Amino acid sequence: MTEKQKVQQLVIKEYKKCASDPVYFMKKYCYIQHPQRGRILFNLYPFQDKVLQLFKNHQYLITLKSRQLGISTLAAAYSLWLMLFHKDKNVLALATTQATARNLVSKTMFMYDQLPKWLKLPAVEKNKLSLRLKNGSKITAKSSNADAARSEAVSLLLIDEAAFIDNIEETFTAAQQTLATGGQCMALSTPNGIGNWFHQTWEKAETGENSFLPIKLPWKVHPERNQAWRDQQDADLGPKMAGQECDCDFLASGDTVFDTDDMAFYEQTYQKDPMERRGVDGNLWVWEGVDYSKSYMVVADVARGDGQDYSAFHIFDIEGATQVAEYKGKIAPRDFGNMLVGIASEYNEALLVCENANIGWATIEQILEREYRNLFYSATNNMETVESYMHKYERDKLVPGFTMSVRTRPLVIAKMIEYIRDHSVTIQSKRLMSEMRVFVWKNGKPQAQDRYNDDLIISCATALYVRDTALRLRQQGIDLARAQLSSFSNLNQKNKAVIKSVGSQQNNPYLIDNGQTQEDISWLLK
């Protein structure tokens, strides 16, 4: 073998190694422009190495990152690797402006220019906005708009600072048709408030409601940063902005209804993935199966019917105030009624509480048709008193379901705030916690941030309100029964009624002798 042949074999071997291992390719052949050190090899940090492996192995990725972690540079290097070693790859870089998108393409071009000749494919097109290689692969910079990705066969859609792009929903929708054939999508950004496409997509990715793999990179992942650096960011940016830029905190534009420290407690203490996801859509999440020694309640909020919100329910262990299951999905009202009857029957004939406003009646009618025995009824006067509950057999004074009104809604929300503040309820759902983080005060009223839903919050709050009211009314009922018995006792003494013992030598104060029969009225206490 000649020396030339040996060199050729070595080149081929090295080329194959670069093609199969992007980490190796970048560490050995990719140069970047460092702001302080100038032209240096892209020597990846361990966290960048891990992120790159995720880039390579997943189709949809969303990266929530602290600033200045080099993730955009990593994405540029990955784009170059994809173009060099694969034919006809179309990389589309999007950002808020064309200039910002061009910056990412410029990083790719700089790395391309530094490659050795044997590794560098000839460029057939090269300008400030695009780089096209001889093998048909290219990268193009565009500002985000509805037509940016339309009619293009996109292999990799790279969205930089996605949280800052106003119309990214339209762009992503337009690109999905081509992405569905196997293309990749990477959305990268620091947080920028809540309610935007990036935040919504991140929330759904965390709960498994979309195809995106969530990657969170707070400041701590960088090996050269310490607490002193983080403290300096507080001084430079202010605590609130530093929390967003460094800790990856999503900040609501208004004050959140639920205290952030309380939500952090729940996320760290109770929040976990369900042990089972049931149903055709996988939207019934179960953390605990039925325990036949426990009593449960199923509390449901029915969608309005306009397609903008969801039907939802929670299952709670009444005694322990523990969330054991949850559903959130889009389902026809009558089908929802059937689902509620089925799940309530499964959980020991649970108390079934269903909102009866508007389209909720269609769900309740189905429950009534199924003749479910343990359906919750509300007093028609909307008064939660013992007297109203004593009319439970007088259907003209009760309505099936729970009536949510302008009077009851504040009481219901206030009850959930109380439970969360006191940490007296066990909430395990990531979906519910996601809604709670964007549940804010607007004009003095608690409601979901724009473009968000509060279906899980309303059903959870209703459950806690009904539970608390039921327990309180039960005690009030016992007190009322005792008062009635006391009045009976006083009346008997006044009328000189004879109180005799039953089954023992001790007197039974609840045995009434009216001169004709004896009646034990202690059942009133049960």
What number is the average pLDDT over the span 23-46? Answer: 90
User: Which domain CATH number covers 75?
Assistant: 3.40.50.300
Q: Write down the number of H helices and E strands in the chain.
A: 16, 22
Are 160 and 280 part of one and the same domain?
Answer: no
384, pLDDT greater than 70: no
pLDDT for the residue 381: 58
Determine, yes or no, domain membership for 173: yes
Determine, yes or no, domain membership for 245: no
52, pLDDT greater than 60: yes
pLDDT for the residue 520: 61
pLDDT for the residue 463: 95
pLDDT digits (tens, 9 = 90+) for 205-223: 988 888 999 999 999 999 9
CA distance 106 to 515: 103
CB 257 within 8 A of CB 441: yes
Give the tokens for residue 85. 């070693």
Are 309 and 192 part of one and the same domain?
Answer: no
How many Cβ atoms are within 10 Å of 314's Cβ, its own excluded? 26
Mean residue pLDDT of the chain comes to 84
pLDDT digits (tens, 9 = 90+) for 249-275: 887 666 789 988 898 899 889 999 999
Are 95 and 207 part of one and the same domain?
Answer: yes
pLDDT band at 367 (very low <50, low <70, confident <90, very high): very high
**Phi, psi for residue 494 in degrees, rounded to 5:** -65, -40
Strands 351-354 and 511-513 turn out to be unpaired
How many Cβ atoms are within 10 Å of 479's Cβ, its own excluded? 11
The share of the chain scoring above pLDDT 90, in percent, equals 51
pLDDT for the residue 96: 79
pLDDT for the residue 522: 56
User: Which domain CATH number covers 466?
Assistant: 3.30.420.240
pLDDT for the residue 388: 42
Are 185 and 282 part of one and the same domain?
Answer: no
The residue from 202, 217, 232 where one domain ends is 217
Are 78 and 156 part of one and the same domain?
Answer: yes
Q: Which residue in this structure is represented by tokens 């479910």?
A: 372
The share of the chain scoring above pLDDT 70, in percent, equals 83
Are 149 and 296 part of one and the same domain?
Answer: no
pLDDT for the residue 505: 40
Number of domains into which the chain is organized:
3
136, pLDDT greater than 70: yes
Helices (H), 271-346: 333-346
pLDDT band at 95 (very low <50, low <70, confident <90, very high): confident
CA distance 284 to 343: 10
The residue from 217, 252, 278 where one domain ends is 217
What number is the average pLDDT over the span 79-96? Answer: 92
Are 348 and 454 part of one and the same domain?
Answer: yes
99, pLDDT greater than 90: no
Are 388 and 321 part of one and the same domain?
Answer: yes
Highest-confidence segment of 173-177, 470-474, 502-506: 173-177
Determine, yes or no, domain membership for 3: no
pLDDT band at 8 (very low <50, low <70, confident <90, very high): confident
Q: Which residues pair with 58 in a beta bridge?
A: none
Are 184 and 100 part of one and the same domain?
Answer: yes
Does the predicted TM-score (pTM) go above 0.85? no
Listed residue (215, 101, 250) closest to 161, CA to CA: 101
Are 65 and 185 part of one and the same domain?
Answer: yes
Give the tokens for residue 43. 């020597």
Are 186 and 313 part of one and the same domain?
Answer: no
Determine, yes or no, domain membership for 340: yes
pLDDT for the residue 454: 92
Determine, yes or no, domain membership for 426: yes
Q: For 234-390, where are the E strands, in sequence order?
A: 276-278, 284-286, 296-301, 311-317, 322-329, 351-354, 377-379
pLDDT for the residue 499: 36
CA distance 290 to 352: 15
Determine, yes or no, domain membership for 10: no
- The CA-CA-CA angle for residues 370, 303, 275, to 5°, reads 75
The H or E element that residue 445 is part of is: strand 445-448
3-class DSSP assignment, residue 505: coil
Q: How far is CA 98 from CA 112, 130, 149, 160, 470, in A?
A: 21, 12, 14, 11, 60
Determine, yes or no, domain membership for 507: yes
Determine, yes or no, domain membership for 128: yes
Of 3-7, 24-28, 41-45, the range with the lowest mean pLDDT is 3-7
The terminus-to-terminus CA distance of the chain in angstroms comes to: 99
The whole domain housing 522 covers: 496-526
pLDDT digits (tens, 9 = 90+) for 397-454: 688 999 888 888 999 999 999 999 999 999 999 999 989 988 988 888 898 887 788 9
Are 500 and 418 part of one and the same domain?
Answer: no
- The CA-CA-CA angle for residues 151, 161, 229, to 5°, reads 160
CA distance 367 to 326: 19
